[in-house]
């Protein structure tokens, strides 16, 4: 394998200014040490040298020189950009003195610039006695692919025209290289260059990716324990007492003892003792340091070891959760314990401190161009109408482009005029679109991360390994899933305010688990803010199903998926007594009784396969895994095998056929009970808090979403249904964030637009030190706020008054600096006295009289000017700060605190603007605050619209076609509903359709009927 990188070389990577240049330099790993060296170099360039690009200098390359092969690189190299020939010679000598294996590089491209540079390289090679290689700047594998690469770049840059064709930038054949290069440097020199190129390839020793089984990091054991297993057993023994297992009946204890012994044996046999210790340790640390931790998630809920360690909160014996669904000795794979925290960064920081910065990384996430996105993106650059692309894209619902075409046989014929669209889209579908950080993955290793792969910096300074979650385990790094769940912070904040203990909201506390009020709230579907059940579909399901226990809530989470809609209706009808609960065989009843005879969980499937087919749980899990792949041939093979096993186990052929056919049809769509049951606990906790302590629940909910005005608007509407008042901020009572005051929710000062953290901190400190503010003047004297801050505070209602306009006018008057007239002591010339002031000195002889009259008239002139200046400043103040009085509160808080004119819109808006992905459609409802008309390059009129919307203050662009069609309704003050394409990456959010709000709402209500 040739393992290399095109580096950004700079003179000094510590210098970070606009004059600090960087150049391309190619580095190849000569051996396995060189591979690790390149990982170190790339990581250093990101962590220490990043300035627009990840840069490295020769001083930092020098320690690794013996294990690298260096090429001088392309037209972006230091040599190419240096016009002074003598300086180029010096650079080459520096390279050669640093790197034992340095080669000059030419590239086979037929451009004037490349020709001149290749000839320059030839001269430099002869002058410095340096070998040169010949390469191609390969942006695509083949010549044909260049066109599609150019289209891909056009899409990425959002260009209207195809600007980059990359002529010759593909992997050329030797004959093509001779054809291009012979006329530039001569055939003999081409032969020499290619020989050097082959020489470089031959110099590279055995280099490979470190593919290996995952290597578990070492957990530092406390004194007194000889190995991981002994410590793990010790912790489960402590957990046995903590969970109260020692107080259970003898029979119940024996069941759990047997399960625990079995699990510990499997865990140790598979070598995973340390994995459980590491997870237990960081969960314990989080709990001991005030971080909210989830009750568990995923298949890990099936482990009694996890329950005893406090990793999960449901007793798997009591809740029919299966260990082999989590860890199967017959199908060896890494355990996958997903852990939820209120503050993910806190845990990542702890792991970094405990195991070392060089031994912990987060994991990159690659997003790829889907067939749908490919059709829309290509259609845009080809100028195909959006409606056409949208219509075509709806047929591209399969994972790959080939599958989409295969399952839509007539598509290419139906849209034959768009052959180029399909051709280009098929080539770019599946290509990389963007990178981010995996939501949960954290890698921990004993060696350095750079022994495996290089790291880059995330947007917040995270250390991110440059392989995704699939590859990271293939190269031997164990991935721990540490996820952030904001709802945990909501629950923690409310519990702290109320004074509830962890036990008060523990699912193992019968009083909480059987609380009537929380189930009544769920059954009434008043679930805005309740975990996992906020959507309209979920609310409809809750109304129909009316959950009364954890099993029902778990079923709601498991069934509300497109694949399970058929089972959903059956479940509801059976639960509500509208359909008889039946079983195809008495042995099926113990397995399906809790779900009213319906099979909805993977664990139930495993029980059925085990009971009727006679398999072990491990074998049953292999069946689940196989049919879960939804491969038709594999599903058929497995179901036939199960059919024979059921008969062999003594059951009738009819039963065998019914079970095998049923599992063949449904098995791939069943849900993981461990996950839905564990997640149901958080659903219950939020429902409990909303039912019993709504003011504290809403306060915590608003704080958690304080930057999402659309969500805040929605929740404030919901507070009214619970009889909770939300008050505007108050400089004497409000804190930074939302608080509860006399059973009402009080806005925080930081929620006020234009009032930043520093001002809020100053207000709170001044109030704490010197007491409440007595009024506007006292506030201004003590805090010295800017005009914008005072205006925002008044508009928000934070400075209490009877009339905001009157207070703003009074404040504006106070800003005017009233000057006193200073009498003059000398008179002007007779001409000025007469012409400017109307004083005839030939009539008025006395100097004192003249001076008195002059001052009298100048005083009038002075105060007239003062009044004019005051009026002008007042007018400017009013123009800037006092327009749209009806929406002052909205301007300051970005929400409708009093009357929300769009209260009924929320039930029809399913996608929150902030949560919508760029380039997707989103409905925006609001009031047009301002229309700024512009003309595009062709002279066509369009407009920027400032909106008071349900999502807060927004700006959208209405391009010419939509503006022309809807000019009559695009007016300041108009209430409208708009279908928009959300912007992103510096793109504007654009209007696609617009209607008067009342008409839009009427259309929605009609469609409901």
**Helix (H) or strand (E) run with residue 979 in it:** strand 975-981
DSSP 108-129: ---SHHHHHHHHHHHHHHHHHT
Buried b (16+ CB within 10 A) or exposed e, 49-78: bbbeebbbbbebbeebbebbbbbbbbbebb
| Contact between residue 389 and residue 377 where contact means Cβ atoms under 8 Å apart | no
Q: What letter does residue 908 receive in the DSSP assignment?
A: G
| Contact between residue 187 and residue 178 where contact means Cβ atoms under 8 Å apart | yes
Note the pLDDT of residue 245: 97
**Helix (H) or strand (E) run with residue 56 in it:** strand 55-56
* Domains and their CATH numbers in the chain: 4-136+172-203 (3.20.20.140), 228-341 (no CATH), 361-476 (1.10.10.1600), 487-683 (no CATH), 706-895 (no CATH), 899-1004 (2.40.50.140)
Helices assigned H by DSSP within 821-886: 830-837, 847-881
The pair of three-digit structure tokens given for residue 38, joined into one six-digit string: 């390149």
Rounded-to-integer distance, Cα 476 and Cα 211, Å: 7
Enumerate the β-bridge partners of residue 926: 949, 976
DSSP 13-55: TT--STT--EEEEEEEESSHHHHHHHHHHHHHHHHTS-BSB-E
| Contact between residue 488 and residue 384 where contact means Cβ atoms under 8 Å apart | no
DSSP 543-580: HHH---SHHHHHHHHHH-SGGGHHHHHHHHHHHTTSS-
Note the pLDDT of residue 631: 67
Using CB atoms within 10 A of its CB, is residue 346 exposed (0-12), middle (13-18) or buried (19+)?
A: middle
Buried b (16+ CB within 10 A) or exposed e, 936-959: eeeeeebbebbbbbbbbbbebbbb
Note the pLDDT of residue 609: 92
Q: What letter does residue 529 receive in the DSSP assignment?
A: T
Closest by CA to 20, choosing from 47, 70, 55, is 55
For CA atoms 454, 457, 458, 461, give the dihedral sign. positive
Enumerate the β-bridge partners of residue 529: none
| Contact between residue 556 and residue 533 where contact means Cβ atoms under 8 Å apart | yes
| Beta-sheet pairing, 55-56 with 4-10 | parallel
Plot region of 995 (φ>0 → left; ψ -120 to 50 → alpha; else → beta): beta
Plot region of 546 (φ>0 → left; ψ -120 to 50 → alpha; else → beta): left
| Contact between residue 107 and residue 174 where contact means Cβ atoms under 8 Å apart | no
| Contact between residue 913 and residue 936 where contact means Cβ atoms under 8 Å apart | no
Rounded-to-integer distance, Cα 87 and Cα 110, Å: 26
Beta strand spans in 330-431 (E): 338-341, 360-368
Closest by CA to 415, choosing from 463, 360, 378, 451, is 378
Q: What letter does residue 271 receive in the DSSP assignment?
A: T
Q: What letter does residue 170 receive in the DSSP assignment?
A: B
Closest by CA to 951, choosing from 973, 971, 980, is 980
Series of mean pLDDT values for 10-residue runs along the chain (1009 residues): 95 89 96 96 96 95 97 96 96 97 96 95 97 94 89 78 71 95 95 97 91 89 95 97 96 97 95 96 97 96 97 96 90 86 97 96 94 90 86 87 89 90 93 91 95 94 93 91 96 98 97 98 96 90 94 94 80 93 95 94 92 91 78 79 94 94 81 95 98 98 89 88 94 96 95 91 96 95 95 94 93 87 85 85 82 86 88 92 86 82 83 81 89 85 88 87 91 90 77 92 69
Rounded-to-integer distance, Cα 493 and Cα 696, Å: 8
Task: State the pTM of this model.
Answer: 0.86
């Amino acid at each position: 394998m040739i393992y290399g990188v095109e580096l950004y070389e700079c003179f000094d990577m510590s210098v970070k200014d606009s004059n600090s240049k960087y150049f391309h330099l190619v580095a190849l790993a000569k051996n396995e040490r060189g591979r690790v060296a390149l990982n170190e170099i790339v990581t250093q360039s990101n962590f220490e040298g990043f300035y627009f690009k990840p840069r490295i200098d020769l001083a930092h390359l020098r320690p690794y020189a013996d294990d690298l092969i260096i090429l001088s690189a392309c037209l972006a190299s230091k040599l190419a950009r240096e016009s002074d020939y003598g300086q180029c010679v010096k650079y080459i000598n520096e390279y050669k003195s640093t790197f034992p294996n340095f080669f000059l590089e030419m590239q086979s491209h037929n451009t004037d610039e490349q020709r001149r540079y290749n000839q320059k390289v030839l001269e430099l090679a002869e002058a410095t006695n340096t070998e040169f290689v010949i390469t191609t700047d390969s942006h695509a594998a083949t010549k044909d692919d260049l066109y599609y690469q150019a289209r891909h770049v056009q899409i990425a840059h959002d260009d209207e025209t195809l600007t980059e064709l990359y002529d010759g930038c593909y992997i050329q054949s030797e004959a093509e290289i001779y054809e291009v290069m012979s006329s530039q440097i001569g055939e003999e020199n081409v032969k020499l260059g290619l020989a050097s190129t082959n020489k470089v390839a031959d110099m590279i020793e055995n280099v490979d990716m470190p593919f290996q089984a995952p290597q578990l990091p070492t957990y530092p054991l406390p004194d007194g324990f000889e190995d991981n297993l002994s410590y793990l057993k010790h912790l489960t023994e402590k957990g046995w007492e903590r969970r109260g297992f020692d107080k259970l009946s003898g029979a119940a204890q024996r069941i759990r003892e047997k399960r625990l012994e079995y699990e510990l044996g499997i865990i140790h046999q598979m070598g995973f003792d340390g994995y459980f210790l590491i997870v237990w340790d960081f969960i314990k640390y989080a709990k001991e340091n005030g971080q909210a931790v989830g009750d568990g998630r995923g298949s890990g809920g099936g482990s009694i070891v996890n329950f005893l360690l406090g990793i999960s909160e449901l007793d798997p014996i009591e809740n029919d959760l299966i260990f082999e669904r989590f860890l199967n000795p017959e199908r060896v794979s890494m355990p996958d314990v997903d852990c939820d925290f209120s503050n993910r960064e806190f845990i990542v920081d702890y792991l970094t401190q405990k195991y070392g910065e060089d031994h912990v990384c987060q994991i990159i996430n690659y997003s790829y161009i889907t067939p749908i996105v490919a059709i829309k993106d290509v259609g845009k650059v080809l100028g195909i109408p959006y409606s056409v692309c949208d219509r075509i894209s709806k047929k591209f619902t399969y994972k790959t482009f080939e599958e989409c075409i295969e399952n839509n046989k007539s598509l290419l014929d139906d849209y034959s005029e768009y052959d180029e669209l399909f051709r280009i889209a098929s080539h770019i579908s599946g290509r990389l679109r963007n990178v981010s950080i995996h939501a949960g993955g954290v890698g921990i290793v004993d060696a350095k991360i750079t022994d495996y792969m290089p790291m880059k910096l995330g947007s917040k300074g995270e250390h991110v390994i440059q392989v995704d979650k699939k590859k990271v385990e293939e190269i031997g790094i164990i991935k721990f899933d540490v996820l952030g769940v904001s709802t945990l912070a909501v629950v923690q904040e409310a519990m702290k305010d109320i004074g509830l203990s962890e036990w008060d909201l523990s699912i193992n506390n019968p009083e909480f688990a059987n609380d009537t009020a929380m189930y009544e709230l769920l059954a009434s579907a008043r679930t805005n803010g309740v975990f996992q059940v906020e959507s309209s579909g979920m609310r409809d399901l809750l109304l129909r199903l009316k959950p009364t226990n954890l099993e029902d809530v778990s079923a709601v989470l498991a069934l509300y998926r497109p694949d399970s809609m058929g089972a959903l209706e059956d479940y509801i009808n059976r639960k509500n007594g509208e359909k008889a609960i039946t079983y195809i065989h008495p042995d099926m009843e113990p397995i399906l009784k809790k779900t009213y005879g319906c099979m909805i969980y993977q664990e139930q499937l495993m029980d059925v396969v085990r009971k009727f087919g006679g398999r072990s749980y491990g074998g049953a899990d292999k069946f689940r895994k196989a049919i879960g792949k939804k491969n038709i041939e594999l599903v058929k093979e497995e179901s036939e095998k199960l059919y024979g096993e059921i008969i062999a186990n003594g059951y009738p052929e009819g039963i065998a056929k019914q079970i095998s056919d049923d599992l063949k049809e449904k098995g791939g769509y069943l849900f993981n009970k461990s996950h839905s049951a564990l997640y149901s606990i958080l659903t219950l906790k939020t429902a409990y808090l909303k039912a019993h302590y709504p003011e504290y629940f809403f306060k915590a909910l608003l704080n958690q979403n304080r930057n999402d005005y659309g969500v805040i608007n929605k929740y404030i509407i919901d507070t009214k249904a619970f009889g909770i008042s939300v008050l505007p901020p108050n400089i004497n009572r409000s804190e930074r964030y939302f608080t509860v005051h006399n059973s009402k929710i009080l806005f925080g000062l930081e929620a006020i637009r234009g009032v930043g953290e520093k001002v809020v901190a100053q207000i709170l400190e001044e109030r704490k030190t010197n007491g409440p503010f007595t009024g506007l003047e006292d506030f201004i004297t003590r805090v010295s706020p800017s005009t914008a801050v005072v205006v925002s505070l008044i508009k928000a209602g934070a400075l209490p008054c009877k009339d905001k306009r009157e207070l703003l006018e009074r404040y504006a008057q106070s800003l005017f600096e009233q000057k006193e007239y200073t009498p003059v002591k000398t008179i002007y010339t007779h001409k000025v006295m007469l012409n400017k002031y109307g004083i005839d000195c030939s009539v008025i002889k006395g100097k004192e009289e003249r001076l008195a009259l002059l001052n009298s008239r100048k005083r009038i002139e002075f105060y007239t000017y003062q009044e004019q200046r005051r009026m002008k400043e007042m007018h400017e103040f009013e123009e800037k700060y006092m327009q749209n009085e009806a929406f002052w509160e909205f301007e300051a808080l970005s929400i409708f605190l009093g009357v929300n004119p769009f209260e009924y819109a929320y039930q029809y808006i399913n996608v929150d603007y902030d949560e919508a992905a760029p380039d997707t459609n989103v409905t925006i409802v609001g009031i047009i605050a301002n229309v700024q008309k512009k003309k595009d390059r062709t002279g066509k009129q369009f407009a920027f619209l400032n909106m008071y919307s349900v999502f807060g203050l927004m700006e959208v662009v209405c391009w010419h076609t939509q503006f022309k069609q809807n000019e009559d309704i695009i007016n300041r003050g108009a209430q409208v509903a708009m279908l928009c394409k959300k912007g992103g990456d510096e793109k504007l959010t654009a209007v696609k359709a617009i209607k008067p709000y009342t008409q839009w709402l009427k259309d929605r209500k009609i469609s409901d009927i």
